[in-house]
Amino acid sequence: MEDQQQDIDILLSDAGDFIETRTTLWKLKAIESLVDVSGELVAGLGMIVMTSFVVIIFSIGLALLIGDWLGKGFYGFFIIGGIYGIVALVIYARRNRWLKDPFSNMLIRKILK
């Protein structure tokens, strides 16, 4: 009878160790996923910032060129602003398909990796 009690105690102790190990493993996997996703977000934000600077510089140059062609400098800025307004409306209309869905899928893929 004592052997059975000892076996049950050993089994419960091993089960507790197993549960503790599994919990630690889940925590480490969650941390790994979080670090992976945040690293990709930081890299993506860095690329967005650099691309934004390039687009701004080219936009100013193009606006000045168009303004020079039309005879008034501010005409070019109005035209470029109008083009960006149209692009913004198109992106807004398609934001779920072009932005939300791919980002959500990437996030889910990284977390479940």
Place of tokens 């549960």: 19
- CB–CB of 86/94 below 8 Å? no
How far is CA 71 from its chain centroid? 44
Q: Which amino acid is at 80?
A: I
Tell me the residue range of the domain where 73 lies.
2-112
Q: How many domains does the chain have?
A: 1
**Can you give the pLDDT at residue 50?**
96
pLDDT tens sequence for the chain (113 residues): 667 777 777 777 777 888 999 999 998 888 888 888 888 888 889 999 999 999 999 999 999 999 999 999 899 999 999 999 999 999 999 988 888 888 888 878 777 77
CB 34 within 8 A of CB 113: no
Phi, psi dihedral angles at 34 (to 5 degrees): -65, -45
CB of 40 within 8 A of CB of 110?
yes
